[in-house]
Homo-oligomer: A and B are copies of this chain.
């Protein structure tokens, strides 16, 4: 099992952060990893309703992928999830075995661990105690989607932008992570708006001194101003 050992050595610390397989020890990981292989996809690889995701399940070990949706008529994009290290996809297919009508695009060069969907399913059947983790993870995703729906209905763009920024600040360094190097257009896709509008709001935040903006880059200057701003949003009625 040289292959398996190697994977665990390289990616063990990432895998242990993976919610879906919470609490698995090295022995159990080695057993499961035997079914996996490593894949690398270049930046900007794009998968449009690809059967690949119906037959394989992936764990990201480095890089980012956006899972997004395109409106047939307006051709607008909406990013459903920005997947990163220790995230998995496609859970939708894993759960019900039906093809998932979404697009994928690599934001960075990507490294994933891949397993044939059926292998994962039969591993689960042999180890039914892990079903609980999968159910809990599904619950977590449902809550995220529900929260998303609520935000779309109850809050305006500037609030959604503020929440997006605040939820991506690294508490250690106080720096923006995951979305800091995205162009305005991609930020807009994340909150369901357009480049022009997002830019309008970013300019306002820049003017009040809470952020710094440059090409493909947003930096946090003062979190407290962002928080105060978010509070003011809520008070409007």
A-side residues, CB < 8 A to B, are: 69, 71-74, 76, 78, 80, 91-92, 94-98, 100, 124-125, 128, 131, 134-136, 138-143, 145-146, 148-150, 152-154, 192, 234-235, 237
The reply to whether B139 and A74 form a contact with Cβ atoms under 8 Å apart is no
In whole angstroms, what is the CA distance A96 to B138 when docked?
A: 8
With A128-B131, A134-B135 given, name 9 new contacts (CB 8 A): A71-B154, A73-B234, A91-B142, A94-B139, A96-B135, A96-B139, A128-B128, A141-B142, A142-B145
In whole angstroms, what is the CA distance A134 to B78 when docked?
A: 28
The reply to whether B154 and A76 form a contact with Cβ atoms under 8 Å apart is yes
A-B contact pairs, 6 of them (CB 8 A): A71-B150, A71-B154, A98-B139, A128-B128, A128-B131, A145-B149
A153: contacting residue among B78, B98, B142, B150, CB under 8 A: B78
Min CB distance, A52 to chain B, in Å?
A: 18
Task: Find the residue from A76, A140, A152, A234 having the highest chain B CB count within 10 A.
Answer: A152
A135: contacting residue among B135, B143, B145, B150, CB under 8 A: B135
Q: With contacts A136-B97, A153-B192 known, is A146 near B146, CB below 8 A?
A: no
**Chain B residues in 8 Å Cβ range of A78:** 149-150, 153-154
